[in-house]
Structure 1
Amino acid sequence: MMINAKQLIYGILCVLGPTLSYAQQHEEKRPNIIVFLVDDMGWQDTSEPFWTEKTPLNKKYHTPNMERLAREGMKFTNAYATPVCTPSRVSMLTGMNAAHHGVTNWTSPKANNNTDNPDDQFLPGNWNYNGLSPVAGVPHTVYATPFPQLLKNAGYFTVHVGKAHWGSAGTPGANPYNLGFIVNISGHAAGHPQSYLGQENYGNIPGKSTWQAVPDLEEYHGRDTFLTEALTLEAIKAIEQPIKDRQPFYLNIAHYAVHVPFNKDERFYRKYVDTGLDETEAQYAALLEGMDKSLGDLMDYLKEKKVDENTVIIFMSDNGGLSLAPPRSGKAHTQNLPLRAGKGSLYEGGIREPMIVKWKGKVKAGTVTEQYVMIEDYFPTILEIAGVQQQNVMQKIDGMSFAPLLKNPASIDSSRTLIWHSPNKWTNQDGPGINYKSAIRKGDWKLLYNMRDGSYELYNLKNDIGEQYNLAEQKTEKVKELARQLSKQLRDWNAPMPILKSSGQAAAMPDVTL
């Protein structure tokens, strides 16, 4: 019996068909991963409550897509970052605690520029003010392997959109292409936009542009396109091809919102003025709703392309909501109530963040976990989700994967310790919990240490989320226990400390004053 060419090809396809189909199915099982990172968004800056009750602040804002994400995923009510931006972003990419990687304050876009403010008591310590570097030997940087590089090596299409702020200009860490990203849109050394307005070219005006002028978005210059919208449109464009090619992608969409300047997003601004908010707070609320629209647009696009069921979305902020007034209006340090203080502070208002994870079929919809997690946990978690091994990593990882929590949200580990370390003069305002502080949380207990005078504050967060009742004098043994644990870890990490002007010596560790 003779077999013609057409029959032969058909027979080969019949044999190979199941194999090809299996390969495609196997590839589709590698989930797409999106980290949706917001800048300076507080725990209460949403209509989705992250506490046991809905508060007046939750009623002030309108974030329907965060509500939708929470309905479809898991809400983390005890998620933490560092009190300011660059330390959180470096911790996320490296899996290291800020006290360990030494980038303990925000990095300047200009290289070799220590951003600590002058202080009467302290000189700056030896912190890594040039940020993260994937290359060894760069002064005042932490040399580490970022997880996007590991994802890229494993076949992921890696995209960064928006704020980067991992390193100072002129250093390798300032450029997302050096950190494992195949595509970079608008990520550079600066930490906030010069302008959110397309009419102002996002700051790119000859003779007027600064380090903060947002790069890459020339097609929107002169148009009535708010920065948050432009970044969303570009993010969607960037993932079109990997979706078409069935290549797993990692999207790091890091909005500049809701950082200052509070430009008016006219799409939402007027509705908040009409509810009685003053101009500043209406602008802030509009920035939040514009960010929320971006989240919804991305979710809608994933559903339209039928990849939403195989895409993990992780929503997070990089530090607590700004509570300095100005630039916020109203009484200072009330903008995150019931949490105390705000951005820059080691009180809960400066470090506790709104976090949600959606992964259809893997994470039960509408669930909540009270287990505390930290920003450095993203490194091991994302690699575990992607099925990528932590190989050829230069740094020691401090974070713990929260992937098991996605299956068992009721699981509680009260033995774990979380550590914050701010040995810097972030602002000239010595506000509550701001400047020269360290802190540790273990279970429900949280200890704060003041480097200026060696004093302690001890709070039970389960009973006192607002940190109003200092129990340090009543619970002296608990103070000693936590101070010793904090000090041991800071020493093990060789954490930077400020230098006393009076003696030239480093500030005392927490256990020295016991």
Structure 2
Amino acid sequence: MKKTKYLFTLLTCLFVHLSGAQNKPNIVLINVDDMGWKDVSYMGSKFYETPNIDDLASQGIIFLNGYAASANCAPSRACLMSGQWTPRHGVYTVGPSNRGKVEDRKLIPTENTWYLSKDFEIIPQVLQKNGYTTCHAGKWHVDDDPTGFGFDYNYGGGKNGHPISYYPPYKNVKSLEEEGDMYLTDLLTKKSIGFIEEAEKPFFLYFSTYAIHTPINPVRSLIPKYRAKEKDGGHKNVNYATMIENLDRNIGLLIESLKEKGVYENTLIIFTSDNGGLHGITDQKPLRAGKGSYYEGGIREPFFFVWPNKLKKPRTSDVQITNMDIYPTILAAAGIKDHQGNLDGDDLLPVLKSKNKKLERTLFWHFPIYLQAYVMKGFVPEHRDPLFRTRPGSAMRKGNWKLHYYFEDKGIELYDLANDLGEQNNIASQHPEVVKELMAELEQWWKETNAPIPTELNPKYQPQSK
């Protein structure tokens, strides 16, 4: 009798465990590389075509004020995966911090941390510990190997920030065996679909294709279509447009695979980009500048959430969110409550489910280093100066106020984004009380995050070179 009771209890526990695992949502995180705020047609582009992305977005919650936590690749991805501000992990850029000509740099920049420390417990690790099977496909860029950070499978991820070519041989895209002449984005999608088809447990797929980062290798079959198409302002690069359409087609195939397996209704899908589009190849007007800049064009992204079984009222939202919110939102969606680390983002489920229509907080960006500008034919820079996309400084957004602060000259710019989305009219001198309030909050944030502030003068600096 005791054995029968024990067996019944054991089977009941096993059933509850398996039922709980089956009820956990699958999670697909799509993080596009270098896709700007207006590089999708649902945000207004008339040249780029993204029907699959548009259709997916129409089924969820589109955030018009969605941000990356940094303006370039590696730090943005480190923030997303760790859920923490840049001063906490120290990844500020790609490579060294002393970029640009030495004689143009007034300050000695803060030393950059090239890769994310193993001290951080990131999204796939927490999910893996809680019964998920995890897969990374595409660009990783925060250390050598995603499998050391909680991924069961890795297709193409390493420390490299881009392929040498999207056509074989990809050369520096490791852990991915080439298949004929297959375009890299197509192959990563094929591997991802294979993972979805075979996954038996709840799964987490980080679909982080290298596209649409440089090199701008066109999808050859699409070139005639875009050569014949009418250009739309700064959206005119034929080769880039073919890469966007190819990415969109692959995202459509990915979503179709979820439906064919019967798991689409129980899958949380998150779509965003790691930073703004590369200015000169594409354009984000009315937003100013692009990748590498902390004006809106460098950090505001296409950003939406789809969860058919939970989010039943598709809509747009003006709530200001950041890619650091993805971590706590995934934890909440998966019912994981035992995470011990510090998270700087917020759980967005109350906003997604319309329980909260506001999320009042201040967003910060910190960049205590230099990032040089680049020269491109026909390109008119929209940065603060022609030598650097960003000089050492911080930026913050509170409500509709956007403040930029620069360490070299203590320069301050203040914009009212409600009336000046393009950040063209610096109104700092007209609102000293606002500047005072925001600067006090920024200084407090520096203290709380132990943000490094560069102050040491560069002895090789030559002011006349500016």
Distance 2:117 2:77 in 1: 13
Partner of 1:407: 353
Post-superposition offset of 1:401:
1.2
Whether the aligned pair in 2 keeps the contact of 1:314 and 1:357 (CA below 8 Å) is yes
Write the letter of the residue equivalent to 1:46: V
Write the letter of the residue equivalent to 1:354: P
The superposition leaves residues 475-494 of structure 1 with CA deviations (integer Å, 9 ceiling, x where unpaired) of 11101111111122112212
Whether the aligned pair in 1 keeps the contact of 2:97 and 2:370 (CA below 8 Å) is no
Distance 1:43 1:124 in 2: 33
Post-superposition offset of 1:236:
1.0
SS at match of 1:466: coil
Whether the aligned pair in 1 keeps the contact of 2:97 and 2:109 (CA below 8 Å) is no
Partner of 1:194: 164
The superposition leaves residues 40-64 of structure 1 with CA deviations (integer Å, 9 ceiling, x where unpaired) of 0000001102xxxx4xxx1111000
Partner of 1:437: 393
1:158-177 matches, cutoff 5 A: 158-167=134-143, 174-177=144-147
1:240-259 matches, cutoff 5 A: 240-242=197-199, 245=200, 247-259=201-213
Write the letter of the residue equivalent to 2:321: V
Partner of 2:115: 131
SS at match of 1:105: coil
Aligned to 2:267, which of 286, 289, 311? 311
Partner of 2:303: 355
2:175 is the counterpart of 1:216: yes
Whether the aligned pair in 2 keeps the contact of 1:273 and 1:279 (CA below 8 Å) is no
The superposition leaves residues 219-244 of structure 1 with CA deviations (integer Å, 9 ceiling, x where unpaired) of 41xx23111101000111122222xx
Write the letter of the residue equivalent to 2:383: P
Quickly say closer, same or farther: Cα 1:126–1:390, change in 2 above 3 A. Answer: farther
2:118 is the counterpart of 1:116: no
Distance 2:356 2:219 in 1: 39
1:280-429 matches, cutoff 5 A: 281-323=237-279, 325=280, 328=281, 335-393=283-341, 396-408=342-354, 411-414=357-360, 416-428=361-373
Partner of 2:152: 182
Write the letter of the residue equivalent to 1:375: N
Distance 2:205 2:63 in 1: 21
Quickly say closer, same or farther: Cα 1:20–1:475, change in 2 above 3 A. Answer: same
Aligned to 1:496, which of 445, 449, 452? 452
The superposition leaves residues 131-180 of structure 1 with CA deviations (integer Å, 9 ceiling, x where unpaired) of 2021xxxxxxxx3111211110111001111000003xxxxxx2111111
The superposition leaves residues 276-308 of structure 1 with CA deviations (integer Å, 9 ceiling, x where unpaired) of 559981111111111111211111000011000
Whether the aligned pair in 2 keeps the contact of 1:369 and 1:410 (CA below 8 Å) is no
Write the letter of the residue equivalent to 2:85: N
Distance 2:433 2:455 in 1: 29
SS at match of 1:316: strand
SS at match of 1:59: coil
Post-superposition offset of 1:38:
0.3
The superposition leaves residues 327-386 of structure 1 with CA deviations (integer Å, 9 ceiling, x where unpaired) of x27xxxxx1101111111111000000011100121124211110011111111111111
Partner of 1:507: none
Partner of 1:481: 437
Partner of 1:91: 79
Whether the aligned pair in 1 keeps the contact of 2:196 and 2:257 (CA below 8 Å) is no
Post-superposition offset of 1:23:
5.5
Whether the aligned pair in 1 keeps the contact of 2:185 and 2:247 (CA below 8 Å) is yes
Distance 2:9 2:71 in 1: 58
TM-score normalised according to structure 1 size = 0.80
2:35 is the counterpart of 1:59: no
Distance 1:16 1:219 in 2: 47
Tell me which moved more, 148-157 or 488-497. 488-497
Distance 1:19 1:379 in 2: 29
The superposition leaves residues 39-90 of structure 1 with CA deviations (integer Å, 9 ceiling, x where unpaired) of 00000001102xxxx4xxx111100011111121110110100110111100
Aligned to 2:36, which of 34, 42, 64? 42
SS at match of 2:447: helix
**Paired positions, count:** 441
Partner of 1:4: none
Whether the aligned pair in 2 keeps the contact of 1:446 and 1:458 (CA below 8 Å) is yes
The superposition leaves residues 382-428 of structure 1 with CA deviations (integer Å, 9 ceiling, x where unpaired) of 111111124343xx2211111111101771233x0100112221124
Write the letter of the residue equivalent to 1:228: T
SS at match of 2:142: coil
Partner of 1:232: 189
Partner of 1:266: 220
Quickly say closer, same or farther: Cα 1:495–1:503, change in 2 above 3 A. Answer: farther
Whether the aligned pair in 2 keeps the contact of 1:321 and 1:343 (CA below 8 Å) is yes
| Over 2 Å off, 4+ runs | 13-28, 113-130, 216-219, 267-270, 276-280, 389-393, 428-431, 496-504
Quickly say closer, same or farther: Cα 1:115–1:271, change in 2 above 3 A. Answer: farther
Distance 2:108 2:222 in 1: 42
Unpaired runs of 5+ in structure 2? 1-6, 375-380, 461-466
Tell me which moved more, 279-288 or 359-368. 279-288
Partner of 1:512: none
SS at match of 2:58: helix
SS at match of 2:147: helix
SS at match of 1:371: strand
Whether the aligned pair in 1 keeps the contact of 2:109 and 2:368 (CA below 8 Å) is yes
Post-superposition offset of 1:21:
6.9
Write the letter of the residue equivalent to 1:129: T
Whether the aligned pair in 2 keeps the contact of 1:448 and 1:458 (CA below 8 Å) is yes
Distance 1:338 1:87 in 2: 25
Distance 1:279 1:449 in 2: 31
Aligned to 1:26, which of 17, 20, 30? 20
Write the letter of the residue equivalent to 1:187: G
Write the letter of the residue equivalent to 1:148: P
Identity of aligned residues (%): 39
Post-superposition offset of 1:431:
5.3
2:452 is the counterpart of 1:464: no
Unpaired runs of 5+ in structure 1? 1-12, 135-142, 168-173, 205-212, 330-334, 505-514
Distance 2:145 2:108 in 1: 26
Whether the aligned pair in 1 keeps the contact of 2:324 and 2:344 (CA below 8 Å) is yes
TM-score normalised according to structure 2 size = 0.88
Distance 1:486 1:233 in 2: 45
Write the letter of the residue equivalent to 2:207: I
Distance 1:471 1:259 in 2: 35
Post-superposition offset of 1:253:
0.8
